[in-house]
């Protein structure tokens, strides 16, 4: 059976499993209808011109996972940023693992989407926030909405600060021959609050996994949200990550995406600025090889005046890897004095690697400063020679240059332990040990 | 002048009427409206074309019927009704003239009002003019000089008759009939256009130039241009256009094919100033043109365009860099005002080794217009050491217009070096203040800044054309260009 048909028929079974709250029920039914009409996106859609889902949709994914055995923390410790104290929301095959998690309701809410969807006391939150940002047009976001049941819920009330970073980790155990996961996260940072979040998807075996995740983030006035996505999954894991961010005046949201692993990764990152003096940051480092495919599809919608956005994506592509960058900046005519910056720099290491990039500007206001730049090139031979003439072996010299290339993005990581962790991942990926931290 | 601000300029731009909007009343020989096989045959017959050409047209017509009109561009317009267009129109008095005295005085007057004085240009600029009024060439000058060098410069219908071997070999090789909806349409119904062949090793001694002009109400203009530069030759080709005011939308779907063989160089410059519609956005020309050049080894094709007219402009002069060491260049100024829309840019397809391309695109939008740059840089896996530099700058005047950039970059070879940068800005108050301080009034200051903004491209135009380009810029941005 085709995946689309399977999902459509599973929806009825799914509806019977979840408590039918009439409000969410309507949203789900609406969403599945949209998915039924549109189906999975194909290369004919302009937004999917360079990324084909055909290959990964061929697998016979289980839509509902069997209960997996509990995981031992020692075995999976390495997938956490474990040398800092943090809240943890951990899911195993899409189900919440209380034993690995550390949640809280003390002043702030760091808990589960399922309890928010089911408990009456959260009803207002659901009505005010749930599915308010996620695109109702996009078929993949709709699919997630239809099956939304579990995920992370984070609510930082006014003037509060999350004392430690929050880690959201999704494990897949390989209990199923092939598994499809659809986590749904809701993050609300009220006025003048502060939160740091690290998100990671990790499969523990090489069984195929397809994750179609939706995250909605609401940043209130003067709120500060610092979000990190670490994508270093096994070779058969694919991820479609849809993130929607709504910012109010004077807020600051920054999101870093580190894509090193997985078979196919598609990041749909959307920022909507509702207020003045907003700062939005989108940064990413992509280092991939083999036949991996990473696609960054970003949107920054400048709606009101005096806002800024900074985009900086770096990519290093070797072997038969494919990189796609599609960055879109829209400046509405009211959004005067906007300062939008977009950069996409790429290194091509092998003959079989491909880069498709489309940095796109749509500007309707005249008093703005919008720039974008995009480069594709190679490592500087004279710089390599310089280092080699000083006794640095070629491999290390190359790695050093690549580090330097990616450093702009790494520099702005605000959690030192995470930075260290990512440096290690990069060193692993490049197969060198440089012996110092950047 | 007391105080001239940007608002005044904007006001002036809004109210500025199209100066060259007039209509020459020449009796025309016009076909009934509509399109079917018979019309295609009739056009072919009218042009006294050989059998193979008629078949070629009919084949294109069959392809066209299976195609649908594309709608992916960032422009919004009322789709033309293809059955409501007359596909052929030629001025009635059509003997070939040897001297200007024989030419219909009304025609000469038209040229004079356009600022193209044939005799003056003949003397001053040394430009051979192949003047096209509604599809049929009525005056060709300097033909003798060209003939001495072996250069063929004539209308395409003449070339079909006199040089069928060349036309047959090259027509449709760069822009195939199946390329797109408008290319198929043009291949079926093209009325006339220019043909140019430069023999081996010849450097064309003068700038070749044609003026297109849409004249008869309700006739679409389907020009077809074919330029072939044989090995080691050089040619600079100019094309410029103006069209009279008319309320109906007029469709212009031309094809330009350039072929630069080994070591050849073609420089193709366009100044386009067709009727852009009035200040309410009514009327104006639809300019849907397919322009493409093919570069063989060590050859070079350079496109320069100044686009100030047309209600809707939708074109991408492209280079296929097939041969090793070939070079493609694209320099463009696109000015949109009132309700004009432009979706223009280029495609650089790098196939050969050590190929280079440069893209400089300047967009100026005023009024309620929309100006888009859409470009593709493609480096195939065999194109070693490909090099591209792209720069797209947009200047916005007023907050009712829009500037859009859609650069597509596809690279499949690691030795490629690609740079792309784009900026969007308005005329800075500090820049104007700086000029004011030095005694330059605001109007002159704006002119200075706009001039400076477009200079990189204006510089690329041949001398003879630069003046014309300046004139045309003036119409679009009257009061801002000095």
Round the average pLDDT of chain B to a whole number and report it: 78
Nearest CA in chain B to A350: B414
B50 — phi, psi (to 5°)? -70, 170
CA distance A323 to chain B (A): 10
CB B373, CB B404: distance < 8 Å: yes
Nearest CA in chain A to B393: A371
Select from A362, A367, A373 the Cβ nearest to the Cβ of B420.
Answer: A373
A378–B414 CB contact, under 8 Å: yes
DSSP string, A91-145: EETTEE-TTT-B-B-SSSEEEEHHHHHH-GGGHHHHHHHTTSSS-SS-HHHHHHH
CB A280, CB A310: distance < 8 Å: yes
Q: How many CB pairs under 8 A join A and B?
A: 115
Contacts of A375 in chain B (CB under 8 A): 417-420
| pLDDT above 60: residue B473 | yes
A371–B424 CB contact, under 8 Å: yes
Q: Return d(Cα B29, Cα B108) in angstroms, integer.
A: 19
A18 touches chain B (CB under 8 A): no
Q: Encode pLDDT of A189-244 as tens digits.
A: 999 999 999 999 988 888 899 999 999 999 999 999 999 999 988 888 999 999 99
B420–A359 CB contact, under 8 Å: yes
- The whole-number pLDDT of residue B95 equals 39
Q: Which residue has the tokens 């940072």?
A: A189
CA distance A379 to chain B (A): 10
- Which residues of B sit within 8 Å Cβ distance of A? 72, 381, 394, 396-426
Residue that wins the pLDDT comparison between A310 and B207: A310
Best mutation target, B424, B425, B431, B446, to test chain A (most A CBs within 10 A) = B424
Is pTM beyond 0.90 here? no
All structural domains of chain A with their residue ranges: 68-274, 383-438
Select from B399, B410, B419 the Cβ nearest to the Cβ of A375.
Answer: B419
A377 touches chain B (CB under 8 A): yes
Residue B1 forms part of a structural domain: no
Residue B243 forms part of a structural domain: yes
B418–A374 CB contact, under 8 Å: yes
CA distance B463 to chain A (A): 33
Quote the tokens at residue B222. 């389907």
Quote the tokens at residue A120. 């009456």
A354 touches chain B (CB under 8 A): yes
In this structure, what DSSP letter does residue B356 have? Answer: E
ipTM computed for the complex: 0.76
Q: Return d(Cα B221, Cα B80) in angstroms, integer.
A: 13
- The whole-number pLDDT of residue A73 equals 84
CB neighbours of B473 closer than 8 A, spacing ≥ 6?
B306, B308, B333, B335, B450, B454, B481
Domain with B104 in it: 6-476
In this structure, what DSSP letter does residue B428 have? Answer: -
CB neighbours of B180 closer than 8 A, spacing ≥ 6?
B67, B70, B290
Q: Return d(Cα B245, Cα B23) in angstroms, integer.
A: 7
- The whole-number pLDDT of residue B74 equals 80
| pLDDT above 80: residue B210 | no
Residue B482 forms part of a structural domain: no
pLDDT tens over chain A, length 438 residues:
688 888 888 888 888 777 666 788 888 888 999 999 988 998 888 888 898 888 888 888 888 887 777 788 888 888 888 888 999 999 998 888 888 888 888 889 999 988 888 888 888 888 899 989 988 889 999 999 998 889 999 999 999 999 899 999 999 888 888 899 999 999 999 999 999 999 999 888 888 999 999 999 999 999 999 999 999 888 889 999 999 999 999 999 999 999 998 899 999 999 999 999 999 999 999 999 888 999 999 999 999 999 999 999 999 998 889 999 999 999 998 888 899 999 999 998 888 899 999 888 888 888 888 888 888 888 888 999 999 999 988 888 988 888 888 888 988 999 988 988 888 888 888 877 666 554
Select from A346, A358, A374 the Cβ nearest to the Cβ of B406.
Answer: A358
Which helix (DSSP H) or strand (DSSP E) does residue A5 occupy? helix A3-17
Overall average pLDDT of the B57-67 stretch: 90
For chain B, the 3-state helix, strand and coil shares in percent, each to the nearest 5, are 25, 35, 40
Structural domain tally of chain B?
Answer: 1
Strand partners, B394: B363, B424
The closest of B399, B339, B334, B426 to A364, measured between CA atoms, is B399
- The whole-number pLDDT of residue A190 equals 93
| % of residues, chain B, pLDDT over 90 | 25
Contacts of B420 in chain A (CB under 8 A): 359, 372-375
Cα B241 → chain centroid: 8
Contacts of A299 in chain B (CB under 8 A): none
Q: Using CB atoms within 10 A of its CB, is residue B200 exposed (0-12), middle (13-18) or buried (19+)?
A: middle
Best mutation target, B405, B415, B427, B429, to test chain A (most A CBs within 10 A) = B405
Strand partners, A135: none
Instruction: Find the angle CA(B120)-CA(B126)-CA(B129) to the nearest 5 degrees.
Output: 75
Quote the tokens at residue B192. 């006339």
Strands B312-315 and B341-344: parallel
Q: Encode pLDDT of B85-138 as tens digits.
A: 777 765 544 334 445 555 556 555 545 555 554 544 443 333 445 555 444 444
Residue B135 forms part of a structural domain: yes
């Amino acid at each position: 059976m085709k995946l689309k048909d399977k999902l459509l028929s599973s929806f009825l079974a799914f509806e019977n499993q979840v408590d039918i709250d009439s409000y969410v029920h309507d949203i789900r039914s609406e969403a599945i209808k949209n998915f039924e009409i549109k189906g999975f996106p194909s290369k004919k859609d302009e937004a999917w011109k360079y990324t084909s889902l055909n290959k990964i949709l061929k697998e016979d994914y289980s839509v509902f996972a069997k209960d997996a055995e509990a995981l031992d923390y020692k075995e999976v410790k390495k997938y956490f940023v474990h040398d800092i104290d943090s809240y943890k929301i951990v899911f195993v095959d899409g189900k919440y693992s209380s034993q690995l998690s550390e949640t809280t309701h003390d002043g702030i809410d760091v808990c589960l989407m399922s309890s928010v969807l089911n408990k009456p006391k959260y009803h207002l939150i659901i009505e005010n926030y749930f599915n308010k940002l996620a695109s109702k047009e996009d078929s993949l976001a709709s699919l997630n909405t239809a099956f939304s049941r579990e995920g992370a819920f984070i609510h930082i009330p006014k003037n509060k600060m999350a004392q430690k970073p929050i880690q959201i980790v999704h494990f897949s155990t390989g209990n199923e021959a092939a598994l499809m996961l659809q986590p749904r996260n809701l993050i609300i940072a009220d006025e003048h609050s502060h939160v740091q979040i690290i998100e990671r998807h990790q499969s523990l075996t090489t069984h195929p996994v397809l994750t179609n995740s939706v995250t909605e983030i609401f940043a209130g006035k003067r709120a500060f949200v610092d979000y990190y996505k670490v994508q270093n999954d096994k070779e058969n894991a694919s991820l479609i990550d849809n993130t929607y961010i709504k910012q109010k005046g004077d807020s600051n949201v920054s999101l870093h995406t580190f894509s090193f692993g997985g078979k196919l990764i598609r990041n749909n990152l959307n920022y909507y600025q509702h207020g003045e003096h907003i700062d939005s940051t989108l940064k990413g480092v992509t280092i991939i090889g083999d036949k991996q495919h990473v696609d960054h599809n970003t949107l920054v919608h400048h709606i009101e005046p005096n806002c800024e956005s900074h985009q900086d994506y770096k990519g290093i592509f070797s072997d038969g890897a494919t990189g796609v960058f599609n960055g879109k900046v829209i400046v509405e005519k009211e959004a005067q004095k906007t300062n939008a910056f977009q950069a996409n720099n790429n290194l091509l290491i092998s003959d079989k690697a491909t880069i498709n990039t489309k940095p796109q500007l749509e500007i309707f206001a005249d008093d703005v400063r919008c720039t974008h730049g995009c480069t594709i090139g190679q490592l500087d031979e004279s710089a390599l020679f310089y280092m080699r003439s000083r006794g640095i072996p070629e491999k290390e010299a190359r790695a050093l240059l690549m580090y330097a290339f990616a450093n702009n993005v790494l520099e702005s990581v605000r959690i030192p332990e995470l930075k260290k962790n990512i440096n290690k991942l990069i060193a692993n990926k490049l197969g060198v040990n440089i012996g110092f931290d950047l | 002048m007391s105080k001239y601000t940007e608002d005044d300029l904007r006001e002036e731009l809004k109210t500025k009427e199209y100066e060259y909007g007039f209509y020459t009343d020449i009796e025309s020989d016009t076909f009934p409206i509509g399109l079917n096989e018979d019309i295609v045959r009739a056009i072919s017959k009218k042009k006294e074309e050989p059998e193979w050409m008629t078949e070629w047209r009919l084949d294109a017509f069959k392809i066209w019927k299976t195609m649908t009109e594309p709608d992916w561009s960032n422009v919004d317009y009322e789709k033309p009704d293809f059955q409501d267009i007359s596909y052929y129109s030629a001025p009635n008095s059509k003997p070939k003239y040897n001297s200007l005295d024989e030419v219909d005085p009304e025609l000469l007057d038209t040229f004079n009002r356009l600022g193209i004085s044939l005799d003056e240009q003949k003397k001053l600029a040394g430009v051979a003019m192949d003047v096209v009024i509604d599809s049929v060439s009525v005056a060709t000058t300097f033909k003798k000089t060209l003939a001495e060098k072996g250069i063929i410069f004539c209308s395409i219908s003449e070339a079909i008759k006199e040089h069928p071997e060349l036309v047959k070999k090259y027509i449709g090789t760069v822009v195939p009939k199946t390329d797109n909806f408008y290319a198929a349409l043009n291949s079926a119904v093209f009325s006339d256009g220019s043909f140019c062949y430069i023999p081996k090793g010849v450097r064309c001694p003068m700038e070749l130039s044609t003026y297109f002009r849409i004249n008869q109400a309700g006739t679409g203009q389907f020009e077809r241009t074919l330029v072939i530069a044989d090995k080691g030759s050089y040619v600079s080709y100019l094309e410029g256009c103006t069209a009279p005011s008319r309320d109906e939308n007029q469709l212009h779907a031309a094809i330009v094919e350039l072929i630069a063989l080994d070591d050849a160089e073609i420089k193709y410059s366009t100044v386009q100033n067709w009727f852009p519609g009035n200040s309410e956005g009514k009327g104006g020309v639809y300019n849907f043109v397919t322009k493409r050049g093919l570069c063989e080894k060590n050859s070079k094709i350079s496109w320069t365009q100044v686009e100030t007219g047309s209600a809707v402009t939708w074109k991408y002069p492209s280079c296929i860099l097939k041969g090793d060491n070939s070079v493609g260049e694209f320099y463009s100024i696109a000015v949109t005002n009132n309700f004009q829309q432009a979706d223009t840019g280029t495609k650089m397809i790098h196939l050969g080794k050590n190929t280079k391309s440069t893209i400089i695109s300047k967009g100026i939008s005023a009024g309620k217009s929309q100006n888009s740059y859409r470009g593709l840089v493609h480096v195939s896996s065999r194109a070693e050491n490909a090099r591209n530099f792209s720069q797209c700058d947009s200047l916005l005047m007023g907050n009712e217009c829009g500037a859009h950039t859609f650069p597509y970059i596809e690279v499949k070879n690691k030795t490629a070096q690609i740079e792309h940068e784009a900026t969007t800005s308005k005329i800075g108050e500090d820049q104007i203040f700086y000029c004011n301080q030095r005694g330059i009034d605001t109007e002159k200051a704006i002119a200075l800044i706009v001039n400076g903004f477009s200079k990189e491209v204006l510089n690329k135009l041949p001398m003879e054309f630069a003046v014309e380009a300046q004139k045309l810029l003036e119409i679009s941005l009257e009061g801002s260009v000095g």
